[in-house]
Amino acid sequence: MDRVLPEAVLDVIGASIDFVYQFAPLAEKTVVLVPSFVGEKVAILSEASGQDVDTLNYLLGMLLCYPLGIIMNLLPYGKVKHLFSLILGAFLLQFTIGKQWIHQLISSMLAYIMFMILPAKDAKFWVPVMTMVYITLGHLHRQYVNYLGWDMDFTGPQMVLTMKLYSLAFNLWDGEQLAKGNPDRAGKKCAPLAVPKLPGIIEFLGYTFCFSNVLAGPAYEYKVYQQACDGTHLYDENGKPRGKIPSQILPTLKPFLVSIVCLGLFSVGGGMFPVLNPTDPQKLTPAVLSEEALANPLWKRYLLSWIALACVRQKYYFAWKNAEGANNIWYAGFEGFDEKGEAKGWENSVNIDILDFEFAPNIKLMSAAWNKKTANWLGRYIYMRTGGNLMATYGMSAFWHGFYPGYYLFFMSLPLVTACERLGRKKLTPRFAKFGIAYNIVCILATTLTINSTLIMAFQLLSWDWAIAYTKSFYFMNHIICIVFYLVVSQLPSVKKDEKKTQ
């Protein structure tokens, strides 16, 4: 185990947690939107299905977003939609995580008060700090009370909320600077997302509690939510359609059906190819480190690890594709129309491009296809605001996920892989791109075998001991290959521009 904190520090942490727990009865009294009989029915269903209550509550909450989305689509534009979004989002949180829903309310209200009293210049610093401190304390609490556990608690929805509040702080700053005619470089690029003034409290809470993304995202920008609620992405100021409004039936059904398939693959495949020990995943040696697994030849262990991780990814695919359909049903995922009145598409709600991720020829495209709204957040509000600092971006991503050593082992390995990928694109692609599909296949295999095996396994194992033991069992192969690749390829001369043109 990785718990090596001094006893005195553990005592302080324990005392702090006990102090906060004193307010649990008060938080319990705020759970007023979920009738008591609902919990009883879910408990009966849980026993009959063999699923634990937390998982079943989450699954039912995700599916419930679809009928709620139908109602949302029928409501008149304006404050009614915002109020519905707020109340039903609060209901879903109370249904899935009970009294812990209060964290969403507290942090939302703290941010709103800061937006009200602080200048935009200060708010764009202090609101992100507050949100990161809040999620940090949540992650630390989770690790302290449920080490290596994957149970549902408030940290999942809080991670989504962190992105919303963090981005809104910069949206308001960009809006102010644009009004003054003095936006910086990042502000100019993010101008379409700028918010000119602080939304009203109902509109703000409708966004932070938005029912269709409160559980699993996607954490799209406030401007996207606002336009979906007031209909301005569909109609002009005179109420005239900006173009031929497309049907939302297929954009809703397609991701929903994909999510059901992914759920089935996760349920079946996860049982057949587990990463952790199914008996006691928190304490017993992970399945991928068992004596039976380590007895296999290197190539077979590599292959089984790839399959196991592919099965694990299905639970993320389920959540994101399910949420995609739930947002599309009330046109929150619709991007609106271009200047010619042509529909742009439904990218607002897309958080994963499954095939693009699985068959990505490089880490850049792989990262762009995975958890896309988080990637947008990191790109717009960390990477761009720090002058393109890659370490700061990956570091923030790890920090946002939590504090398990496995996260940092994975994210801190990515700059090495990224450096190799950039070098390969500069030195190798001009030489071998002429081989077309064959070269592309080699790139796909190199990318998936580098990332979706020993590197990303650390992310799932969490523990330093387990992550290092697993990486060591492969002789740190991926890291060594990347270092050798970089040293060798960097010695190749760059292809001249006139040579590129002739290839």
Give backbone dihedrals phi and psi of 235, rounded to 5 degrees, phi first. -125, 150
Contact 217, 323 (CB under 8 A): yes
Q: What is the pLDDT of residue 204?
A: 98
Q: Which residues of 490-502 are buried (b: 16+ CB within 10 A; e: fewer)?
A: eeeeeeeeeeeee
Res 1: pLDDT: 41
Whether the Cβ atoms of residue 208 and residue 161 lie closer than 8 Å to each other: yes
Q: What is the mean pLDDT of the chain?
A: 91
Cis ω before 35 (30° cut-off from 0): no
Q: What is the pLDDT of residues 319-339, one digit of tens each?
A: 999 999 999 999 999 999 998
pLDDT in tens, 410-437: 888 888 888 999 999 999 999 898 889 9
User: Residue 208 in contact with residue 112, Cβ under 8 Å?
Assistant: no
Helix (H, G, I), strand (E, B) or coil at 343: strand
Q: Are 284 and 330 in contact (CB under 8 A)?
A: no
CA of 256: how far to CAs of 250, 317, 497, in Å?
10, 11, 47
Q: What is the pLDDT of residue 117?
A: 97
pTM over 0.85: yes
Q: For residue 497, what pLDDT band results from cuts at 50, 70 and 90?
A: low
Query: Rounded mean pLDDT of 173-189?
Result: 93
Residue 128 · residue 339 · CB < 8 Å: no
pLDDT for res 47: 85
Helix (H) or strand (E) holding 381: none
Q: What is the mean pLDDT of residues 449-463?
A: 86
**Domain ranges across the chain:** 30-230, 245-352
Res 218 pLDDT > 70: yes
